[in-house]
Structure 1
Amino acid sequence: MRPDVVTFWHGPLDRLRQTCLRSQLAAGHKVTVYSFAPLPGLPDGVRHADAEAVLPFAFSERLRPPQPDGSWRDWTTLQFSDFFRMRLMAQSAGLWLDADVLLLKAVEIDPQKPYFAWERPRQLGNSVLYLPSDDPIVAAFAQLMQQKELTPDWLSLRHRLTFALRRISGKSDRLSDIRVAIFGPASLTALARRSGELRHALPKKSFYAVHAEPARFFEPTEFSALIADPGIVGFHVSPKGRGNQPPLPGSLYGWASKRFAAA
């Protein structure tokens, strides 16, 4: 089955994300971006939907208080999106792709099985994610969101100790302050292990061949083997602040920008 693609975005769309969204359309997917405000620069053909209908804006205040002007601070956007994608899974909305996932071809899934890939040797990525609505991982997040404290029962011993020390020292009583990805890949990996679903994970190169090495995407390099590899479905790109920089000639980004240019 070729699923619809869904994602969440907060703030202006940069050049890289526009390219990636066009690649998802070009692969034959229907693409919907959820946000709390209009998104200028949304590529033609990409649908826009109201994020409030999936997860209310007020939920962000359970992660950390907003800035005095009401805007989100530091990690809020990333952690909010970790919960948002699980809400979309509960609603059977489709396949989650981060807005910076560049697709080389269509993603085909079995709607009865999880779809994700290894990001690191012992950690799954959640930038590409599909879970059936009745999956135990989805249920675990639903139960977590009913808690005021948002403290997972799957938290590792190391994180439990870190959290306890921060509370004792008075630094913070919010788990969300421990690390940016506390509700993301670490949680997905722990829950997939607990539910026996790690066997469904695709190899790292499926989507994360350039994730930890952004130079392979942004800098001039030989990339023909990457785009010709049948085992690579797409690339999750870690822009590191380069999202609005013009692509360099001879780079994978330069190739992608031309291939998925605006009509």
Structure 2
Amino acid sequence: MSKLHRIAMLWVEGPLSYLEQLCVKSFLDAGHEVTLYHYGEVTNVPKGAEMVHGDVILKRDDFISHGRTGSLALFSDVFRYHLLTKCDDTIWADTDAYCVKPFETQTGHYFGWESDSHINGGVLGLPKDSPALAGLLEMSHDEFGIPEWYSDGARAKLQAQIDAGTPVHVSELPWGIWGPAAVTHYLKKTGEDAHAFPVEVLYPVPFKRRRMIVRGGKRDAAMEFVTDKTTSIHLYGRRMRAFLLSRPGGLPDKGGLFEHLLEKHGIDPTAAPIVAKNLEPEVAD
């Protein structure tokens, strides 16, 4: 018998925008209990979400940010791995994962392919005894480690820098190195990739087509990617927020899928605007 798991999310600090509000509310409205972990003050949190300080999972002293962008995605990656080892009956969801219908699992595994080549960890459920989860945790203990899935040539270059006393920190490696790249590797290594859902379940709208979700005349086209198997739509938060900032008033187009979802869940976008800090608006095309 499958069971409805608790949804765990992380928002380090600051106000939620209407995008994150929508995603949190979508899980609540689907019947999930939601825990939003945080480290500083967070506002605009939908009623019903439980707020828990992140220190119960991972101390703030362990923050890691990406060298090029300053993003805390690396810390978020490590946080979710620690969380899944400590919490029962819990599925991780990024704050840009919109819930179409309840997440259910009989095994504790809950994740899916985003493309033909990689599994995304934006939604991630793993049982505590998952060999892949153990591998991800072990990997994250060494911030100067060499990814074991790298080619011989790439590994040799990184090893040479270690030998020279100038090891490369994980924050200087490509984006997503401890995220989708690592998740895909360890799930394949342990054979747990057999549990991965096809693209249509968790990542139906491709990254390159994400703007269709916002545009007024593209609602039907965006929904063509969604099937009766779809349980989530990934909204590509940082990029989507940047694109929304390029629209009049920082709001989604009238008649678009995004506006429809906001109305469905009773979210007023003017009450929780997107903040331009650290975002470069995408040029509308």
TM-score (norm 1): 0.86
Q: What residue number does 1:82 align with?
A: 77
Report 1:169-184 matches (<5 A).
173-184=168-179
Cα deviation 1:155-182 (Å, max 9, x = unaligned) = 4546535645777999862133111200
Q: What residue number does 1:14 align with?
A: 17
Q: What residue number does 1:47 align with?
A: 50
Q: What residue number does 2:104 align with?
A: 108
Report 1:148-187 matches (<5 A).
149-157=144-152, 160=155, 163=158, 173-187=168-182
- Structure 2 residue 134 is matched with structure 1 residue 139: yes
* Match among 182, 185, 190 for residue 185 of structure 2: 190
Provide structure 2 residue ranges, at least 5 long, that are not aligned to the other structure: 269-285
| Aligned pairs, number | 254
Q: Give the SS at the match of 2:113.
A: strand
Q: Give the SS at the match of 1:129.
A: strand
Identity %: 24
Q: What residue number does 1:238 align with?
A: 236
**Distance in structure 2 (CA, Å) of the matches to 1:217 and 1:203:** 20
Q: What residue number does 1:222 align with?
A: 219
Q: Give the SS at the match of 1:210.
A: coil
Q: What residue number does 1:70 align with?
A: none
Q: What residue number does 2:278 align with?
A: none
Q: Give the SS at the match of 1:222.
A: helix
Q: What residue number does 1:99 align with?
A: 95
Q: What residue number does 1:199 align with?
A: 194
Question: Quick check: 1:115–1:201 contact (8 Å CA) kept in 2?
Answer: yes
CA shift at 1:52, angstroms? 1.2
User: In structure 2, do the counterparts of structure 1 residues 168 and 142 end up closer, same or farther at CA, with 3 Å as the change threshold?
Assistant: closer
The one-letter code of the counterpart of 1:259 is: K
Q: What residue number does 1:252 align with?
A: 257
Superposition CA RMSD, Å:
2.7
CA shift at 1:137, angstroms? 1.5
The one-letter code of the counterpart of 1:236 is: H
The one-letter code of the counterpart of 1:124 is: I
Provide structure 1 residue ranges, at least 5 long, that are not aligned to the other structure: 66-72
Q: What residue number does 1:117 align with?
A: 112
Question: Quick check: 2:78–2:137 contact (8 Å CA) kept in 1?
Answer: no
**Distance in structure 2 (CA, Å) of the matches to 1:150 and 1:165:** 12
User: In structure 2, do the counterparts of structure 1 residues 255 and 168 end up closer, same or farther at CA, with 3 Å as the change threshold?
Assistant: farther
The one-letter code of the counterpart of 1:250 is: G
Q: What residue number does 2:32 align with?
A: 29
